[in-house]
Amino acid sequence: MLHGLKLASDERLLWASQRGQPTRLPSGALGCRMAYAYVMLFALGGMVALPLLILPATRMYTVPATLVIALIAYLLYRRSQKPAIFVTDKRLLDRDLFGTKSIELANITAYRRLMNKYRDRYGTQYEVATNTVLVGLRSGAVIPVGPVAEYEELTDFLDGVISRDIHPTTMRSLDGKPAAAEQREDIFLAVENTTEGDVYGPLFIGPHGLVRFTEKFPLALQGLLLTALARPDSAETLEHTVLAYTKRTGTGHSVVANLDETQIGMDGTSLRITDAQRTFHVQLADHDAMRCRKFIKALPRGYR
């Protein structure tokens, strides 16, 4: 049970995020006054607490109360460091102190950012962007989610889900259950892999070439790629699709090799790639290494 979530037997956890930072203060004079009020609140609180801790008559009551407050603050801090926003292949989940909100991805039609509004004593209104997502449903209801630390990563994913460009059921789960594209036998795909401890993006081997992205894909980009590679197209068509992603914004750098000029093989759970200039290894997970070994054996002998 990942993160203590109760999921259906056929449901997979795709993504997890912490809650976001506190809402930003307004700009201008109103923001300065609010910051000053916060500083004075802590300063005056300290000025009141110190004498109570020092005086013998009040120390016996103040010390336990201070310890209880410090313990509560510590527990709340520990809780804030744990993931609280989750995406499965079926739902968007928001867990807080009072329970877990569940939103079916199929029911989401729109979203927007929550804007906090402030008005100063002169009547001027200020708007401050928050990291809370207001999710609109088919029923017309609007449900707040968050604040979400990785706000853009979540909303980019929701864009793909709403437009039907991302099919969450085709994606890889956090516990390693393979994506639909990773189960194909005419191509090889590993969503994550490492070299010398550094995490890299997807590794793809097709009938004629090899592509490795140097940066781990964000949730939306990963969903777009995995949805495209799950289509019932030929291996050659999927290879062209992956090559197109090397020119896409946000995918980082990539290594592209022609199998006619490259030899690949397995050393344990590492993929060995040798070209005219160098030999390097890509560390794969155990289940990915098994699939890769099987795929390489099916390649023409000149490629391995």
Asked if the domains at 2-19+83-162 and 181-303 fall in one CATH topology, the answer is yes
Residues in contact with 291: Cβ distance below 8 Å, sequence separation at least 6, in sequence order: 182, 188
Instruction: Report whether 87 contacts 222 (CB < 8 A).
Output: no
Q: Which pLDDT does position 302 carry in this prediction? A: 46
CATH C-level class of 181-303: mainly beta
For residue 303 the two structure tokens come to 């490629």
For residue 185 the two structure tokens come to 């036998």
Q: Which pLDDT does position 64 carry in this prediction? A: 76
SS3 18: coil
Domain locations along the chain: 2-19+83-162, 28-80, 181-303
| Distance (Å, whole) CA 24 – CA 33 | 14
Q: For 66-179, where are the E strands, in sequence order? A: 85-88, 91-96, 99-104, 108-119, 125-137, 142-145
Q: Which pLDDT does position 28 carry in this prediction? A: 59
| Distance (Å, whole) CA 108 – CA 8 | 20
Q: Which of 104, 108, 167 is nearest to 135 (CA)?
A: 108
For residue 126 the two structure tokens come to 């200020």
Residues 120-148 have pLDDT tens digits of 667 777 777 888 999 999 998 999 998 88
Has residue 168 got a pLDDT over 90?
Answer: yes
Q: Which pLDDT does position 136 carry in this prediction? A: 93
Q: Which pLDDT does position 40 carry in this prediction? A: 78
pTM, two decimals, is 0.75
Residues 21-62 have pLDDT tens digits of 655 665 556 667 667 677 777 777 777 777 766 767 677 777
| Distance (Å, whole) CA 216 – CA 222 | 9
**Average pLDDT value for residue range 258-277:** 83
In CATH, what is the architecture of 2-19+83-162? Roll (2.30)
Q: Which pLDDT does position 21 carry in this prediction? A: 66
